[in-house]
Amino acid sequence: LLVIGANLRREVPILAHRLRKAALRGAQVAMLNPARFPHLFPVRAQLTSAPADLVGDLAAVLAAAAAATGKSVPPQLASAVGEARVTDAHRAATQTLLSGERRAVWLGALAARHASFADLRALAAALAQLTGATLGRLAEGGNAAGAYLAGAIPHRLAGARAAARPGLTARDMLQRPLRAYLLLGGLEPSIDALDPESLRMLAKAELVVAVTPFASEEAKRIARVLLPMGTFAETSGTYVNCEGLWQSHPGAAAPVGEARPGWKVLRVLGNLLGLEGFDYQSSEDVLREVREACAGVKPAGYQGSHAVPRAADAIDGAARQPLVDVPMYQTDAVVRRAPSLQKTREGRTAAVTY
């Protein structure tokens, strides 16, 4: 197994525990990360790479794999792989991956946050193909796969259908001012946006509406309207895990006071604006529509043909963008307000920028 850009114990603790059990039984593991994380299990090969060098180091691992297997890399990667400087550490990572009968390459949350993630994914996919490994993506958060299937990304609709008019990413929205913003789910831009300019950009808007469980001082300062929303535990819903398993649950408690589940707040806003497609009566109606849209969706490997540039041609700005590792008990507004969690060692840990 080769893990790329993942602080496993922080991102996916249960998976980290399972990997520890496998490693103690003899599984061979290699890591390519911006720092040496405490894994609590034996790691056969460990590459520590600064964010600006992560793409180059993965290209070197791919070059070592091509040499070891006698196979060629895809032509769109040839330039980046051809100039990679292969060391014994890269060869060790390759040999670790080739040592097992069942092989896998995982991309974690730190890889996904990297400014050159498309390069990392293309190189990882080629590495998996050359070594006969399975390419895996450790989606960030508890329901990232579900959000993607529901179309909660700029360029896709529900069922992973391409959007005729792609929307904006959160970064795009915060880099150029918009007339109005809707902040959903207890977002606290000063923490969640990882952008020091986010509050200044929101202050320029004519209207900011925050749909949130918490009337924080920051929310009161930046939003003209606060709409009370229940937390994830106060509504029914569905999660889709990395395996693709759909798991539905009822609300564990009733929303407090005038708070309503987030989907209901969005439905009423859509009704008031006269928009189509906001006639849901229950969260089961939403689930049914998403399931129907996803009926033809099947798991598939990486299908891209992204060309990775040579290091000399890479965009300097992307290489200089910071890579932030967020502590697990700082990831959302709910855990940030849990005194018991904040008293733990992880809760007292500050975010790290590499």
pLDDT tens for each residue of 158-214: 998 999 999 999 989 998 889 999 999 999 998 888 777 899 999 999 999 999 999
Residue 320 confidence (pLDDT):
66
**Is residue 60 within 8 Å of 90, Cβ to Cβ?**
yes
41 and 120, same domain (yes or no): yes
CATH assignment of the domain containing 12: 3.40.228
- Name residue, tokens 């940030």: 336
Q: Which domain holds residue 208?
A: 166-279
Tell me the C-alpha distance between 342 and 337, whole Å.
8
**Is residue 102 within 8 Å of 305, Cβ to Cβ?**
no
Asked whether residue 73 is assigned to any structural domain, the reply reads: yes
- Give me the percent of the chain exceeding a pLDDT of 90: 82
Cβ-count burial of 59 within 10 angstroms (0-12 exposed, 13-18 middle, 19+ buried)?
A: buried
pLDDT tens for each residue of 55-103: 999 999 999 999 999 999 999 999 999 999 999 999 999 999 999 889 9
**DSSP per-residue codes, 17-42:** HHHHHHHHTT---EEEESS----SS-
Tell me the C-alpha distance between 137 and 22, whole Å.
19
**Is residue 32 within 8 Å of 59, Cβ to Cβ?**
no
The total domain count for the chain is 2
Tell me the C-alpha distance between 234 and 2, whole Å.
39
CATH assignment of the domain containing 256: 3.40.50.740
Tell me the C-alpha distance between 105 and 93, whole Å.
11
- Name residue, tokens 């080769």: 2
Residue 255 confidence (pLDDT):
93
pLDDT tens for each residue of 125-160: 999 999 999 999 998 888 999 999 999 999 999 998
pLDDT tens for each residue of 90-122: 999 999 999 988 999 999 999 999 999 999 999
- Name residue, tokens 């060629």: 72
pTM: 0.91
Residue 167 confidence (pLDDT):
94
Residue 319 confidence (pLDDT):
57
When pLDDT is cut at 50, 70 and 90, the band that residue 314 belongs to is low
Residue 298 confidence (pLDDT):
84
Tell me the C-alpha distance between 174 and 330, whole Å.
21
Asked whether residue 204 is assigned to any structural domain, the reply reads: yes
315 and 232, same domain (yes or no): no
71 and 116, same domain (yes or no): yes
